[in-house]
Structure 1
């Protein structure tokens, strides 16, 4: 297990602020992000604009490539804080744990995927999907659950009304669609925008808009770590809230400039288009609070997908005290 964990953590290391010149009085925090995504703009803003540093935190950011691997890293103490879908904390809770994973600061509040059609459709109606081949996301993951929740809401049975393909790895979905698999695909950014700009597909709907507000991506940690380091978690949440307010107030161009260092291999105009799309549909949470109504909506989505054994208590797996203190401190 130890060697596996080391391999996981080494997948995509990005260490920022951990150089030898970092202030000695700063507290080091190891964040594991489930993937590298423009969807997580507030996190990158908190780093690039110095909000973590202002709070005395030295951030080491690692991309842990997948919810399971991110949870393995967190539970095995390979990282201190995870940025991942809040459903993962529910899965850990369902397995039984004396040290539950607790959500303490929300980053995104909608699903981040879009419906992409192979052909241009001027007047789209969800019923058009019936009888089509649909390239979906991995079973049990939040994108797939939000996708199926939306389809059912639109009167479509994913198992009966579609030829549903779910055996393609996340990283290979864009290539599979580009090579001819599927009439429609559920796809994250920036791949959706890239495919659209290249004329290989067309973004026709947003699963984020259709599935409603959810605590989709949240900073979380083990309860024991939070209890041992409440001041550090408070500083961390303060920085996140500063970044959220910055993102809410600044223009698409300014946000794009702030996150570009994390997407050096992506065309700047693509990044800008994705930031605009997510900002326009209000995917970025404007404060760190994990709202109970949104938490219940998340569980409704999981329940509809058959992935929820029993409802998880909001009070057990969510701690909003740090978010509330961050908001109050900002008013002073």
Structure 2
């Protein structure tokens, strides 16, 4: 049988999206008869543009993108399969801190991740929870990853918020000191999921269902795998990252339960994210869960696969 080609776009290449690469390189999507043509967006919001222009069938990204689009009067993009349930970023300090308190950020400069606004919005929410005014912290938000690292190492900021492998490499080199997991600080929130236009979900529901099936099989395999095993499977997507750094990054994500066990998005997580976006002034009004999320497809896939026999084998 000739595989069905599915065009998928990711916002940036990251170990945060490890389930996607387990699904691809572990053979789970191929087993569903799918050939994945994966591209990486060249700018923030590029995933949305690709879906709207028809140059991609599916996109991996934050629910924040769909909130932003409809809040500004644009068309819907529907999220149908969850990948992450935690903020995937970490806070580094230039100086070692035996005891870190969120008040340590007041009057200091923090370089935020520049590829998306969600990490910064979550940081604001965490500060407010601790009774702190985010306006008392200087945030630098517009730097590329190389420029952010260079500025941090040059002493132009006191803290850096970023993800692996950047944080792992800075820690290993002694240039940065881990003070907080933003995943633990933020709490459960649907950070990343797959989205598509309503037209694609209606027209290609069987194919998209097979994609969700491959993702779910990857999630089940990951639930029983070690960090070393997972890091080995995704190695083809991260050939430029040292194997030890890759494994430590995966282990860090596993420890904080970053990745969901199944692709069904939850109403509770949706509302938590909506509160963060409203509190940060990113959106102006509330939006309905059913308007931006389709749980029917993933729930059907999970029920079908979970009820079947057979084991998930190590790729």
Which range, TM-score by smaller chain?
A: over 0.9
Q: Which residue of 2 aligns with 1:264?
A: 239
1:137 aligns with 2:113: yes
Shift of 1:139: 9.5
Cα 1:283–1:258 change in 2 (3 A) is same
Q: Which residue of 1 aligns with 2:256?
A: 281
1:73 aligns with 2:50: yes
Partner Cα distance (1:105, 1:66) in 2: 23
CA contact (8 A) 1:245 1:286 kept: yes
3-state SS of paired residue (2:139): strand
Q: In structure 1, which of residues 190, 209, 226 is the aligned counterpart of residue 165 of structure 2?
A: 190
1:58 aligns with 2:31: no
1:212 aligns with 2:187: yes
Using the size of structure 1 for normalisation, the TM-score is 0.89
1:117 aligns with 2:104: no
Partner Cα distance (1:289, 1:145) in 2: 24
Q: Which residue of 2 aligns with 1:307?
A: 282
CA contact (8 A) 2:43 2:115 kept: no
What pairs with 1:108-257 in structure 2 (closer than 5 Å)? 108-138=84-114, 141-159=117-135, 161-257=136-232
Using the size of structure 2 for normalisation, the TM-score is 0.94
CA contact (8 A) 1:139 1:145 kept: no
Partner Cα distance (1:65, 1:256) in 2: 25
Partner Cα distance (1:171, 1:219) in 2: 27
Q: After the TM superposition, which segments of 4 or more aligned residues of structure 1 sit over 6 Å from their partners?
A: none
Q: Quick check: 302-311 or 169-178, which moved more?
A: 169-178
1:49 aligns with 2:5: no
Cα 1:69–1:171 change in 2 (3 A) is farther
CA contact (8 A) 1:113 1:187 kept: yes
CA contact (8 A) 2:115 2:144 kept: no
CA contact (8 A) 1:292 1:314 kept: yes
Shift of 1:140: 6.8
Tell me, which stretches of 5 or more residues in structure 1 are unaligned?
A: 1-23
Cα 1:171–1:87 change in 2 (3 A) is farther
Shift of 1:172: 2.4
Q: In structure 2, which of residues 281, 295, 298 is the aligned counterpart of residue 320 of structure 1?
A: 295
| CA-based RMSD | 1.5
3-state SS of paired residue (2:234): helix
Tell me, which stretches of 5 or more residues in structure 2 are unaligned?
A: 309-315
Partner Cα distance (1:43, 1:51) in 2: 10
